[in-house]
Structure 1
Amino acid sequence: MSHHTTTANDLRRGLWLGALGVAIFALTLPMTRLAVGQPDAPLMSGQFLAMGRAVVAAGLSALYLLATRARWPQRDQWLPLLLTSLGVVFGFPLFTSIAMRHVEAMHASVIVGVLPLATAAVGAVLHRQRPSWQFWAWAGVGSALVVTFALTHAGGSGLGLQAADGLLLLAMACAAVGYAYGGRLSRQMPAEHVICWALLIGLPLSAPLAWDSRPTSTMPLSAWGAFAYVAVGSMWLGFFAWYRGLALGGTVRVSQVQLLQPFLSMLFAVPLLGEQLDLPTVLFACAVVATVFAGRKAPVGSPAKTDNPSLTSLNSKGNAS
């Protein structure tokens, strides 16, 4: 068989694993807000939160790779691992950590709403797939629902473009690239190993950056608790489920589960940030869930034929675990 075919069971498992990863990631923005504080009451710096969590997760990764006797990546896997690291170890955490001191979680959800489309677009290009117009239509409807909700529900955060919005857009672009390349690598090696190697590749840079920006004053326990969550959950365990889901169900399809992330973030923000969950939020969330399942049934074309042996090898290997 020359191409890996995603079965209905693979897709179902991929969607559930993707949803688990998204649920873990959904706490990232509220926890980041708790850790970095607000402009009038700053806590940890964005640089320390982003790089410090990468260092902690890299230490856990080293132990995990040793315990599982992981093989070293092959020569042609180092560049995709580097791109994955630049996207999800450096770009996304650093840009969001800096931005979240200046915007509320509700405002940030406007930008997060574009992440599923961005991931699907990068994944389609990377895997040379041709999603149908029905797929893009449902993805567009879901993203429009997310953005419409955020715009009409922003409250005191305001809707005007802020300097932090540019950082959030860069963060979404970095995440899309990191997700797509990480999902592709998860078809060549165990999904858990992808994030571990990406973190270890970045350690020579993340460690000195974290040390240089370490807190010099006493931080509240809530800030350290938030730091621990984004280090162990957002930066490590969440990717175990997320990359496995992308490998099983395909990046283009499973990426649409991210449409749920803004609403889950809002739900988690109720106890953490004091925001209120009302009926319109529930109704919009139900509508978004409907677009995810509708998009799941829309056809996604197979990878185009190619003379690239590495791509053919990638498709033929299928799941590594």
Structure 2
Amino acid sequence: MRGTLLAGLGVLAFSGTFPATAFAMRGFDPYLVAIGRASVAALAAALCLMAAGAPLLPPRSQLKSYAVIALSVVFGFPLFSGLALNAGASVSHAAVVVGLLPAATAVCAVLRAGERPRTAFWVASTGGAVSVTIFTVSRGGGSLAVADLLMVAALVCAAVGYTEGGRLARHTPGWRVISYALVVAAPVAVPLTVLLSMTIAQRPTAEAVAGFAYVSLVSMFLGFIPWYAGLAMGGIARAGQTQLLQPPLSLLWAWLLLDERLEVATVAGALAVLVCVAATQRARS
């Protein structure tokens, strides 16, 4: 139960990512938002490591795993999801599509972390995935739009990074896992951030800066601390199903902060995956 609660706290932090990204892109280029947030988060991570007296780099034997996390959740998910929003996907639409993430994470947990959920777990997960797929295809007139394909790429990146981080968090505190991943990504993120900021015109506003600060410090760093700890304690596949709570939470933020209209199909899709999360939490690994 404690692992599920910690993972749920991470999901609460992540649920504000899409609205915050939308705000950030009102004043900053999508590529700068995706790469720049990693640079800011890397600075915060390095400061935390130094304050704790921990090494600034992970053990050499684990560098490959941290490189996978950096490529997937530090670069991949922010970039693809930001481009999806820039390509025309609304925050509400992206929020429901992200409901596929728990199923993708569960598959990665089986392939990489050696977990073996029960049949009931897979039935409930499949139900959630089918609900999201039906919603996405119906909203796209029977086909997937470019923005949907970008979101699928983002989800694959997130599933890989969540699984690898959850596996490492079994032996390393969650805050150090994400900190090391960010430090490993810094040699690429920082120069690219400087280059993008110098070559692309920006229009920073108060709401854009606030959105950028959220995705940098909360989405990219602080949210991962309870998230990875929860995955390690509760099991990657099972605790990862708390992400099914992210679509309805993101819909709420989109309605409150962005004044997006909540259509019946959108709410129905979110409720469908919400029902599935209760079922998956009853199906113990």
Q: Does the pair score TM above 0.5? A: yes
Alpha-carbon distance in 1 for matches of 2:51, 2:216: 20
User: Greater shift after overlay, 201-210 or 290-299?
Assistant: 290-299
Structure with the larger helix share: 2
Give, in angstroms, the shift of residue 106 of structure 1: 2.4
Aligned length: 281
1:89-126 CA distances to partner (integer Å, 9 max, x unpaired)?
01111111222112211222343121111011001111
1:253 counterpart = 2:238: yes
2:28 and 2:202 in contact (8 A); partners too: no
1:127 counterpart = 2:110: no
Aligned residue among 133, 150, 153 for 1:167:
150
Aligned residue among 13, 18, 25 for 1:29:
18
Structure 2 unaligned blocks of 5 or more: none
1:150-170 CA distances to partner (integer Å, 9 max, x unpaired)?
666x5xx87742223222111
1:208 counterpart = 2:191: yes
| Higher CA-based Rg | 1
1:61 counterpart = 2:45: yes
Partner of 1:235: 220
Structure 1 unaligned blocks of 5 or more: 1-11, 38-42, 301-321
Aligned residue among 25, 30, 34 for 1:46:
30
Partner of 1:17: 6
Partner of 1:178: 161
Aligned residue among 140, 144, 153 for 2:126:
140
Alpha-carbon distance in 1 for matches of 2:213, 2:278: 33
Give, in angstroms, the shift of residue 272 of structure 1: 1.8
Give, in angstroms, the shift of residue 283 of structure 1: 6.6
Report % sequence identity.
42
Partner of 1:97: 82
Alpha-carbon distance in 1 for matches of 2:92, 2:267: 15
Greater than 4 Å deviation, 4+ residue runs = 147-152, 157-160, 277-287
2:10 and 2:223 in contact (8 A); partners too: yes
Structure 1 residues 114, 149: CA separation in 2 closer, same or farther (over 3 Å shift)? Answer: same
Give, in angstroms, the shift of residue 216 of structure 1: 2.9
2:120 maps to a residue whose letter is: Q
Partner of 1:82: 67
User: Greater shift after overlay, 160-169 or 53-62?
Assistant: 160-169
2:102 and 2:244 in contact (8 A); partners too: yes
1:107 and 1:158 in contact (8 A); partners too: no
1:286-310 CA distances to partner (integer Å, 9 max, x unpaired)?
553442232222242xxxxxxxxxx
The alignment's TM-score, normalised by the length of structure 2, stands at 0.91
Q: State the Cα RMSD in Å.
A: 2.2
